[in-house]
Structure 1
Amino acid sequence: MTTGFNTTAADQLKQFADRMERLMDEIDGLKADLKDLRSEVKSAGFNIKALDKLVAIRRKDAGEQEAELLNDLMLYAHATGTPLDIVVPEPAE
């Protein structure tokens, strides 16, 4: 590459690479923090898989949470033979 040729693009690309490298370093640090937290949770006697599931549910939006709750309710009712009295809303016209 010739000196001074397209230096703006080269500088911009270098800045992007530097930023990406910093973000990847931050991600690595956060992964290490998460690993330490999981060890702490396990040593406190809690189930890590259950905690992961809880966090996944909490991160979902309200609509997804409601759909998952209804699905779980339907599965429970089917498995136990419990009749459900469900009213299905009419679609808006």
Structure 2
Amino acid sequence: MSDIIQADQLRLFIERIERLEEEKKGISDDIRDVYSESKGQGYDTKIMRAIVRLRRMEKNDRDEMDALLETYRDALGLA
């Protein structure tokens, strides 16, 4: 009996994962559409993606990255 219950439980987990994967694909498609729309309005999507990535970061991490980037630019004469 426990084998049957475990098989049913496993099937339910798999089905949940499949539904979530489908939702994730839909959300990814929606995000791609927003980037396409913004590109059509003249925005640089590469920069927008960088801004989204920066906004996800904690302020301390962002400050540390900025400091390192400035140090590397100075070392390479890009300042």
| TM-score (norm: length of structure 2) | 0.84
1:7-22 maps to which residues of 2 (within 5 A)? 7-22=4-19
> Number of paired residues?
78
Shift of the 5–43 alpha-carbon distance from structure 1 to 2, 3 Å rule, reads: same
Runs of 4+ in 1 over 4 A off after TM superposition: none
Aligned partner of 1:73 in structure 2 is 70
- Kindly indicate whether residue 40 of structure 2 is the aligned counterpart of residue 40 of structure 1: no
Gaps of 5+ in 2: none
Q: What RMSD, in angstroms, separates the aligned Cα atoms of the two structures?
A: 1.8
Aligned with residue 53 of structure 1, among 32, 50, 55: 50
Deviation at 1:80, TM superposition (A): 5.8
2:43 alignment partner, SS class: coil
Q: Which has the higher helix share?
A: 2
Separation in 2 of the partners of 1:38 and 1:62? Answer: 25
Q: Which has the larger radius of gyration?
A: 1
Separation in 2 of the partners of 1:6 and 1:76? Answer: 61
Separation in 2 of the partners of 1:49 and 1:42? Answer: 10
Shift of the 15–40 alpha-carbon distance from structure 1 to 2, 3 Å rule, reads: same
Separation in 2 of the partners of 1:25 and 1:33? Answer: 12
| TM-score (norm: length of structure 1) | 0.73
Separation in 2 of the partners of 1:46 and 1:72? Answer: 24
